Structure 1
Amino acid sequence: MSDPQPQSIEPAIIPRDQHVISRSQISDKALTVLYRLKSAGYGAYLVGGGVRDLSLGREPKDFDVATDATPDEVKALFRNCRLIGRRFRLAHVHWGPEIIEVATFRALTPPDGDTDSDRVTEDGMIVRDNVYGTIEEDALRRDFTINALYYNIADFTVVDYAGGMEDIKAGRLRLIGDPAVRYREDPVRMLRAVRFAAKLGFAIDTATAEPIPWMAELLDDIPPARLFDEVLKLFMAGQGVETFETLRQHGLFRYLFPASDTALDDDEHGQFVTFIARALESTDKRVNEERPVTPAFLFAALIWPAILAQLPGGRLQSQINRELFEQAVTEALERQLRQVAIPKRFSQPMREIWALQPRFDTRSEKKAKRLFAHPRFRAAYDFLLLRGEAGLADKALVEWWREYTTSSPDAPPPTPARRRRRGGKRRRGGHAGDANAAPSDSAVESGGE
């Protein structure tokens, strides 16, 4: 059942002189889309994250548009438009690398002759949502109040049906409607709550947070491929440390990395938590410096505690049995893949990073020279440094490698950083490249909101 909502409420209309959004801050292509829709007689609104970020004085990553025009009507206005999606039919207007996403207002309830069961499962999860409605309905079916703000290109006002502007001022993340119902409609909203809270530095509203621990198990029903996409958004946006802590606080991390979460709970010295935190700090630093990162290194770090937990003493001991180690790697990865589908272009570099760790257990210059030649050496070496920082590797051994790596002419230099592309919709998942960094080579961008 859908969460019952009032069918007619009076929105707050915020005039131009009472908000900070200016057309000069909106991309030219988004303005072109808005004005063409308006000229054709349709309602045209900038909506969602773009309005939220501009209201916070931030630079939006994307500019999304909402309208009463149907996807086919949008397509008729733009030769460079493509219609995508089945569950959510959307129009994408392409301008070179920039894509403006145009969504038709969604309805709260199905039309006459349709039934709720056609679009909602017995558990309350929405599986089809191409029922079009009014701007009011569209606002009330959005997830968080701060994402339900509409900038009207007709008069430059901001239309607020859900109190989103007040929540922005209060630094509060609040779901629209009954949180339990909204989480059943789409359990990924629990992850989005954590992500937005970390990204914006907001506090999650008490009523929004309260159901999460006992509803987190609904994430088991989400396809592993979708959870992979969500993990990228969670941990590769520059607030990975805060995100990790908040996921654990609300009991969500275990539904993304179940074996690792168990290992963290059982580690009385807290070294596994320290290890993951160090890896996330490294990733956050690179993301915030607009340097490239790769999921391969990050996933390798997040799953590492699950591998160690299967080894004697929970550690990678000197001269470990190779077969035992490989078995631990295989079992940990197979269990993880049942929860989050990691593409092979990332899981293979992960395996190589892990496989090289026992090979660092040497202080032979001859063996070190051979290890230098391995294409994954840089990523594996940086992984070793993180292990040392967390107390999961012998300090003297780590220092030997640090000294040898910095002084040896055979050591490969770090791969030059490449800047991430800015503006427009971003491709999700990226490419693994050679993944020789920690996290270094090959840019991967975190996907949309």
Structure 2
Amino acid sequence: MFEAIKLLVGVVSLIMVYRTITGNCNKYLAFAICAIWLRYFLSAFHTITYPSLVAGFSINALGSIGVAGLGLLLIPTAVFTLKKLFPFYVFFTAIAVSGFVNMQIPGTINVLVKWCYFLVLAGALFLSIRCQGQNETFKKLLVAFVMPVSLQMLSIVLGEAKATEADGSTSYIGGYNHEAAFSMIIVSFIFVLGLVNRNAISFRTTLFTVAVVLLVLVNYRTAILTILPIAAIFYFTLVEQRLKPSQKAPVLTIVTMVLAILFFVLSLSMQERFADVGLLVGNLDLIFKAPMYFSDAEQDIMSARVYIWSQYINAFTNADLLHQIFGFGPDSWKHKFDLYAHNTYVSYVYEYGYLGFISFIGLMAYILTASFNLSNKPLGKILAFSLIGFMIMNMATMPLWNIEGLIFFALALGTVFANPSAQKVSKEIGAGHKTSMEIN
């Protein structure tokens, strides 16, 4: 029955998407909306779209390849030559070199196609924000989330729940395949809501709060940890914007205390789910412990994540110098381990070696610095804290392995690069010019 509901909601959301992109919508935003909606639509029918169909490719994979290819044709070449993208090309080169050294050609193609998907989506959002503004772009982009958000709400009402693979607790994910990927859909929805001006849509604060509750009901603790800084800065900024300068100090102090209390209450209510996090923090040396020395109890910490990390780290540290520098190649874990690393940093150091790992850390630091340096300080805080939360999430799962995680990353990157830095604005004011909106 729920499959029929999925189809009905999908058709309704498609009509809404059509009406949005045929209205006052630039072609780059129309591309971004359709690309994101298509991914969420196909993923909802995972029993059909996940199995291999043609030449080892699933319908989902073919959809991603099609989006990446269309985006390369649609996005002007000038966007891909932005100096801002240089750290990404360094990272992509490290991936390609690792794949060539290890002759992991299929894995290399698979990974680079995913990053190509990310690049064209980020480019489309960058151009749309420059063309129609951030508020209009993200206001219209919300239509792409109608299907997954509606399905999750219906799954709650109808009791369509999934037992999580690790501990059997209940997750409401709208009939999607896995809570990890679905949690990134809701995180992206929360992120987009946070970037829309408060007067642009009705009940924005209510929608944001409902979205946070929906994320909690997904019951994926790493995503909950990710959203905490985003939610905190949202509510903090919401109150700050309504205050007079003389009121800010006392009121914001109270707000901070209230947020701290709410966080404490949430921690207590989900104490069992987060107990392992505290255990890990107190025993960080476990990560570097050889897997053969793990006790049965230690193997269960954080749903076996720590044990999995130790397997990857142990294999890497015992490798020869060549593999330590270049790694074992993209997707090489599939040939040695039963499970992916559940940690982006651990996975990247194993797959791409020191070369790829350092280039990835460098580009993350670059984006985070660019966020803090935006001329729009409130926006900069939202983006920076969102990225910090995302970086924390990557410590316990691998959102960048899924297209859903890359969509969130593209939303953040497109916004950061489309907004001028404080240094740039300062130079332009000094030169007596208005803020430039050119591609540079």
Same fold by TM-score greater than 0.5: no
**More helix by percentage:** 2
More relative contact order, 1 or 2 (CA 8 Å, 6+ apart):
2
Larger radius of gyration: 1
**More strand by percentage:** 1
